[in-house]
Structure 1
Amino acid sequence: MTTTDGSGTFGRVLVIGGSVAGTLAAAAVAPHFDEVLLLDRDVLPEEAAFRKGVPQGAHFHALLAAGREAMDELLPGFSEHAVALGAARLDSAYDVMRLDRVGWSPRFASTLEFLMASRPLIEKALRDRAQLLPEVRYEPGAEVIGLVAADGRVTGVRLLDGRELTADLVIDASGRSSRAVVWLAELGYLAPTEEVVNAHWGYSSTFLRVPENWSPGFRALAVTPFGEGALSPAAASRAMAMWVVEGERRWILTVQGSAGDHPPRKEQDLRAFVSSIGVPELDKALEEVEFPEPISIWRDTRSRLRDFAGQPRRPEGFLAIGDAWMGFNPVYGQGMTAAALEARDLRDELATHLTEHPGDLTGLPARFYAKADELIKYCWNSSNALDHRIPGVEYTVDGEPRQVDPSSSDFSDRLAAYMAQDPDRYIRYRETTQLLRSPEWLASEEVVSAIKANWDELGRAVVPR
């Protein structure tokens, strides 16, 4: 699409979905459009409240440090506004207790800070900042059922109420429920290659009320499954996360089970499930807390990657972002951060593209996919290396089963053990897992050689409990 008046700005962009990815995408493109219209099926709440269109909203959400930085770039003042609404600031090295296959992570004061908040609060903070942009407008209760196209370009969308809306650019940010593949097929485009990894995780979550002046010795605690060789079947497949979300007395507990070993919904049964993991620090912390709210369950935890970046043929004027492109296994906490970094890439690539091709959006989707694909593939590979060791994990490509290699996690286990041996290395490692630092250094000759030279010793550090 080329502007007709030579101004270098465009009329309208339509964003399908008004959640995290959609709001950030809207902020990314707003400087170049007269109108940014976010279409969402839900009636968006005024307050930080759960809604039907975000079924995962009742469960824990980790906003990694890089995601928070990107959100502040795209929507200045986001962090301060989130804290004013009740979000907590945590030191990633000092305030968090982590227990995994290499034991307890080291704890010491650092400058690696991130925010803890519920998903509804994060969404509200983002919407509040986005609505300060004069170009941005939300249209609730608007369900998109298809795309409109002409001459190899998407020119708008069709709504369930019969309307057609035109646009210079359409961005699909509709999440895991995205129908983009079906819509593109209706226009004659082949579906992108689709990979799915399913380790059959399940969640049970609830918000907790903790006693006044309660001090468990941490502000966040996370335990991952210990895998094959654990001292009990429960420790092999079960995990949990518990942390402050708003204020000091409202915490969240999310209990996880992999390989189909799913946590229950009743409080008494859920407490017993947690106790079976065998972490005394956790059992003690839960003794004094109350479960004042319902327990929510969630079972759709597959990782799904649609290779939009590798498509040989695609229409202009349309791109997918966030979970519409890659839906993560949420246990690894990468989803919101990846969406924020993708939106930042979209902002940068759009600005550069229009500098090189003033007034013309042709080629933008390919350019955006090529830039963000490196991040997507890193997150995909890092999370799947861990899922591949879960018994019964299923991996398919375009529906065809493929074999997985559980030993692919051997190096990553030893890498974690090596990083925990030195505070400086550990902080750089945490910066990498928080997506602040490029992962390239983890594959450097220095790191790989050190791990290979100490392979057996590091292997002994990966001990079952």
Structure 2
Amino acid sequence: MSTSSAQQETPRERSGRAIVIGGSMAGSLAAAALSRHFAEVTVLDRDAFPEKPDHRKGVPHGHHFHALLAGGREAIDSLLPDFSRRAVEDGAHTLSVTADVRYRQRCGWMPRFPGALEVVMASRPFIEWTVRELAGQIDGIHYRPRTSVLGLRLADGRVTGVSVKDEQSGAESDLDADLVVDASGRNSKASSWLRELGYPSPSETTVNAHWGYSSVFVRVPKGWDPGFRAMYTPPLGEGAPEGGARTRGCAMWVQEGEDRWIFTVQGAAGDYPPRDEAGLRAYVATIGVAEVDAAVAEFEFISPVQVWRDTTNRLRDYANLAMRPENFVLLGDSVAAFNPVYGQGMTMAAISAVTLDRELQNVPSTRPDALAGLAERFQKSLDGSIQFCWSTSTGQDYRVPGVELMVDGQAQPSPAGEAEFSDRLLAFVSRDRETYEKFMETTQLIRSPEWLAGDEVVSAIQADWDELGKLVLR
């Protein structure tokens, strides 16, 4: 999953114009990738952007915990080389994944030791604002806020631009482009736009385990040192011991700002956490984790409790469309939106942009006719990265009682999972430092997951099946 190819300089002269629909993480990073190939990149968003890191209407889940995985940081740094430096200078924190994070799983607390694998920790508004600021400084990138996209324009089987509406004046107009990128997120209208143009919509799969979050920013005592800088205790799902930990969990970690942390409480299977402080503290106490109780006792709530329940995994299969228009590609949540609890969204947005840059390097020019075939090649290439995240996210959600699987609007039986093997895999990797580092590199999306299904790992787990099973909480 290396992103080194994105660091190559594009040898040809930039030409033409690209349009990006959506100015969030996926849109800004796509713009950075496109700027290496196109002379002009216009980013359209119906929102007004804040002048400093702040919440905005178009990112309602920004109040909740977000994780930028190591693979995401690597990808962003390859597109925006000043990102990590700028983020840390402005208040973000760097954490060692193996030393600074307390992570509880089905086999108990995962090991901790010094390691070089680092992540950047900050709030979603801070990360998005930093990315947009850096992208906006690139020659040729222009943001056009308060602009809604009404549909695609088509000529001779090729998307040639978009129709837009100015949200302030109400005026409608057309914008020409050689390439259009949809990075508009979960609520993308591309499926209906394609139908209007006579093309098929993608097959759509959803997996809903009925998660809900309640999040609040908290202040911790000055100089507070609980022995970690991030802690995560997810709901353990079916097969876990009876009690609150089956459907309840929480995450807490340091944010930008003095002595400020984010505290997100999670409930699965419709066991939603409350939105008031007293109720939230009582809910967390039922998880039954002493380390959590001790930390929460130190928290001072400094913001209103925010609730979020739009957590459905949604995959639109643009990789296998029977027919598609040329010069139109989709990335980020427009294609695959994962349950945010698994922290893959921002990282997949960054990897998607790197993939787009790589595919554009392989075309002879950015003239519209030279981009023939790019849309299909890109969507298929992107699908390879999506599938690991999808299987990880849905595989965990399939363990939640009452999970719902829908394919093109029709209910399907949940697939028989591999929970017994997955539990033992976690126990297996936790026993050896080198193996655990490889595992964390994989979950952080900087190492290919192929080794996890290799004969060496599978055979070792099968040979020690019973002993590994004893390490799993029951």
TM-score, length basis structure 1? 0.96
Give per-residue Cα distances to partners, 1:232-291, cap 9 Å, x unaligned.
331111111100011451100111100000001000000111111011111111112110
5+ long unaligned stretches in structure 1: 1-6
Indicate conservation of the 8 Å contact 2:37/2:366, yes or no. Answer: no
Q: Which amino acid aligns with 2:55?
A: F
1:357 is displaced (CA, Å) by 9.3
Indicate conservation of the 8 Å contact 2:25/2:349, yes or no. Answer: yes
Indicate conservation of the 8 Å contact 2:235/2:247, yes or no. Answer: yes
Within 2, Cα distance between the matches of 1:356 and 1:49?
Answer: 36
Give per-residue Cα distances to partners, 1:313-368, cap 9 Å, x unaligned.
11011111100000110011011101111110110110112379997111111111
5+ long unaligned stretches in structure 2: 1-11, 166-170
How is 1:319-330 mapped onto 2 (pairs within 5 angstroms)? 319-330=329-340
- Counterpart of 2:418 (choices 408, 419, 429) is 408
The reply to whether residue 72 of structure 1 matches residue 77 of structure 2 is: yes
- 2:202 partner SS: coil
- Counterpart of 1:372 (choices 382, 388, 395) is 382
Within 1, Cα distance between the matches of 2:17 and 2:237?
Answer: 50
- Counterpart of 1:96 (choices 67, 92, 101) is 101
- 1:314 partner SS: coil
Q: Which amino acid aligns with 2:288?
A: G
Q: Which runs of 4+ in 1 moved over 3 A?
A: 7-10, 229-233, 355-359
Residue matched to 2:294: 284
Residue matched to 2:281: 271
1:410 is displaced (CA, Å) by 2.0
The reply to whether residue 306 of structure 1 matches residue 311 of structure 2 is: no
Within 2, Cα distance between the matches of 1:410 and 1:179?
Answer: 39
Rate the CA distance shift 1:249–1:411 in 2: closer, same or farther, 3 A: same
| Percent pairwise identity | 54
Residue matched to 1:54: 59
Within 1, Cα distance between the matches of 2:137 and 2:250?
Answer: 37
Residue matched to 1:4: none
Residue matched to 2:8: none
Within 1, Cα distance between the matches of 2:361 and 2:262?
Answer: 40
Within 2, Cα distance between the matches of 1:451 and 1:357?
Answer: 53
Residue matched to 1:37: 42
Residue matched to 1:121: 126
Within 2, Cα distance between the matches of 1:399 and 1:462?
Answer: 36
Indicate conservation of the 8 Å contact 1:9/1:359, yes or no. Answer: no
Indicate conservation of the 8 Å contact 2:106/2:240, yes or no. Answer: no
Residue matched to 1:81: 86
- 1:163 partner SS: strand
Rate the CA distance shift 1:458–1:234 in 2: closer, same or farther, 3 A: same
State the number of aligned residues.
458
Within 2, Cα distance between the matches of 1:25 and 1:229?
Answer: 41
Residue matched to 1:241: 251
For the aligned residue pairs, the C-alpha RMSD in angstroms reads 1.5
TM-score, length basis structure 2? 0.94
- 2:438 partner SS: helix
Residue matched to 1:108: 113
- Counterpart of 1:134 (choices 123, 136, 139) is 139
How is 1:53-452 mapped onto 2 (pairs within 5 angstroms)? 53-160=58-165, 161-354=171-364, 360-452=370-462
Within 2, Cα distance between the matches of 1:429 and 1:360?
Answer: 41
Within 2, Cα distance between the matches of 1:296 and 1:204?
Answer: 5
Give per-residue Cα distances to partners, 1:132-161, cap 9 Å, x unaligned.
111111111001121111111111111133
Indicate conservation of the 8 Å contact 2:179/2:368, yes or no. Answer: no
Within 2, Cα distance between the matches of 1:84 and 1:324?
Answer: 32
Q: Which amino acid aligns with 1:11?
A: G
Indicate conservation of the 8 Å contact 1:85/1:121, yes or no. Answer: no
